[in-house]
């Protein structure tokens, strides 16, 4: 350096001091240790805390780098591993990630070794139940499907799914209990209930079948019965339900008139020509229906004109004095059609007891208990002779309950008696079941009739609904919620 040339800024050192400074710069000076021991980056093994999971979070330098920078690291906890970018920036100006203004500046990450408590033994993870609703809730030994099971999802499958998963069945609400009271009052207008002590499942089912027999007899005698239990096998699955009311009165004759197909009317024959039914017997006195359904050794049922059709009515109770509309009526619509399907199958003797009884785990040939027969004897009377050889010698048309049960002392035998009663009640089989259906609405508080709706049976509509509904029950499609338009 030429010392004669003056510097623009001048020098703070004298010539003697510059000589001493030059000598010091040419010596090998040791690198001093850092002032703050807390900034020493030690390995993970240096940490005495238990080894744990690494939790990533942001670090606010302004909260920790302050005060006396020479404070010993032994007074600071926990031990932090800090990553600082060496870009020459002032650490004091670096903001945390939580700060909105610091997102565009230098970022740092801090890893804290925190201990994790792991419970002893194997960890059990909750595995979702992938079984179908049918497998979970309506497979033996659980009860079979009911009409309620098939109808309740029609408005919202998701709601019924939550009901099944939480309770296993639809819980009775106060409104439902009030409706049951109305139904009980209506039933007592037709039937008288007598308490019977049951000790076996076979006796319980014998009582159920016997009540159906009594209901069919009441229908024939008075033209109306209530609370009639029905069973059926739909697509291989056992289904049961209880019909609120059956009667011989058509709820809507005009609607029934439109139901009849003009092509079903038999053609008019010439006066000198006889029909095929005229040649069924030598005395030409029996019709085709009587020849098919008459019990052996018993007088055949009367002509179709003396046995009118049987019509189904479903009674609904409501807390409001109004009749539902649109989507709210769809479950009732399907319920009535399903009742019609089940009753028609029973009337046509279309129930396989080889499927029905095993589904309920019943011993169909097991005799009823003596206590059950003793309680049932003398309670009822019969107005028809059953199709059995043991009662054919009776000189009276009235057979007491004791003799009747002794002659049909098992479920299989009693079911044959039920089949005979069905033939008397529905001489034309499924054709005797009226295709005009009625929904009657009563107020839940006093049972007052508020209105009714009538409709025609639609087999195609029911088939489509059942096919889609059973796909859900079998887990072949996902659960669907209520439509937005109907919510």
Distance from C-alpha of 58 to C-alpha of 353, rounded to nearest angstrom: 72
Stronger pLDDT, 340 or 172, i.e. the higher one: 340
Nearest C-alpha neighbor of 231 from the set 361, 342, 354: 342
The residue that leads in pLDDT, 451 or 302, is: 451
pLDDT of 305 > 90? The answer is no
Q: Is residue 116 predicted with pLDDT exceeding 70?
A: no
Confidence of residue 212 (pLDDT cuts 50, 70, 90): very high
Q: What percent of the chain has pLDDT over 90?
A: 42
Helix axes 459-473, 330-347, angle to 10 degrees: 100
95-103: average pLDDT: 49
**pLDDT score of 380 more than 60:** no
Confidence of residue 215 (pLDDT cuts 50, 70, 90): very high
Give the C-alpha separation, 401 to 335, whole Å.
Answer: 34
Average confidence (pLDDT) over 275-301: 39
C-alpha closest to that of 321 among 451, 174, 181: 451
Tokens of 407: 């002659």
Q: How confident is the model at residue 364 (pLDDT cuts 50, 70, 90)?
A: very high
Residues 396-443: tens digit of each pLDDT: 333 578 888 899 999 999 999 999 999 999 999 999 999 999 999 999
Mean pLDDT in the chain?
74
Residue 460 CA to residue 106 CA, distance in Å, equals 71
pLDDT given for residue 48 in this prediction: 43
pLDDT of 457 reads 97
pLDDT digits (tens, 9 = 90+) for 159-200: 899 989 887 776 777 777 777 888 888 888 888 888 899 999
Asked whether the predicted pLDDT for residue 395 surpasses 80, the reply is: no
The pTM of the whole model exceeds 0.75: no
């Amino acid at each position: 350096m030429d010392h004669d040339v003056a510097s623009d800024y001048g020098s703070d050192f004298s010539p003697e001091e510059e000589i001493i400074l030059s000598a010091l710069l040419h010596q090998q000076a040791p690198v001093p240790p850092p002032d703050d021991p807390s900034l020493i980056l030690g390995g993970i093994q240096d940490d005495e805390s238990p080894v744990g999971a690494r939790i990533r979070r942001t670090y606010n330098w302004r909260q920790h780098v302050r005060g006396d920078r020479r404070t010993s690291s032994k007074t600071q906890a926990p031990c932090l591993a800090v990553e600082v970018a060496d870009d020459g920036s002032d650490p004091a100006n670096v903001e945390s990630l939580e700060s909105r203004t610091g997102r565009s500046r230098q970022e740092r990450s801090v890893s804290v070794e925190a201990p994790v408590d792991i419970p002893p033994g194997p960890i059990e993870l909750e595995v979702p139940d992938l079984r179908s609703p049918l497998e979970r809730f309506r497979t033996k030994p659980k009860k079979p499907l009911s009409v309620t099971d098939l109808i309740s999802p029609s408005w919202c499958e998701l709601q019924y799914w939550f009901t099944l998963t939480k309770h296993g069945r639809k819980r009775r609400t106060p409104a439902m209990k009030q409706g049951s009271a109305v139904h009980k009052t209506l039933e007592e207008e037709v039937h008288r209930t007598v308490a019977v002590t049951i000790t076996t499942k076979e006796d319980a089912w014998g009582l159920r079948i016997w009540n159906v027999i009594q209901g069919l007899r009441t229908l024939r005698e008075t033209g109306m019965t209530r609370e009639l239990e029905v069973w059926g096998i739909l697509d291989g699955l056992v289904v049961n339900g209880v019909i609120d009311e059956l009667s011989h009165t058509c709820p809507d004759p005009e609607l029934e008139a439109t139901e009849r197909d003009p092509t079903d009317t038999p053609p008019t024959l010439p006066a000198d020509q006889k029909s095929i039914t005229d040649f069924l017997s030598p005395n030409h006195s029996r019709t085709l229906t009587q020849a098919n359904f008459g019990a052996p050794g018993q007088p055949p049922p009367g002509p179709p004109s003396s046995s009118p059709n049987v019509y189904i009515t479903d009674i609904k109770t409501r807390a409001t004095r109004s009749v539902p509309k649109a989507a709210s009526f769809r479950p009732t619509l399907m319920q009535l059609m399903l009742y019609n399907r089940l009753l028609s199958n029973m009337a046509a003797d279309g129930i396989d007891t080889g499927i029905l009884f095993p589904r309920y785990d019943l011993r169909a040939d097991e005799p009823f208990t003596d206590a059950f027969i003793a309680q049932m004897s003398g309670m009822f009377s019969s107005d028809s002779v059953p199709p059995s050889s043991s009662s054919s010698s009776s000189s009276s048309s009235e057979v007491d309950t004791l003799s009747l049960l002794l002659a049909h002392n098992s479920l299989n035998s009693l079911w044959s008696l039920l089949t005979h009663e069905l033939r008397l009640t529905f001489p034309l089989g499924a054709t005797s079941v009226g295709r005009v259906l009625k929904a009657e609405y009563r107020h839940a508080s006093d049972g007052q009739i508020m209105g009714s709706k009538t409709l025609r049976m639609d087999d195609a509509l029911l088939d489509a609904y059942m096919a889609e509904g059973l796909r859900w029950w079998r887990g072949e499609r996902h659960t669907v919620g209520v439509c937005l338009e109907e919510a």
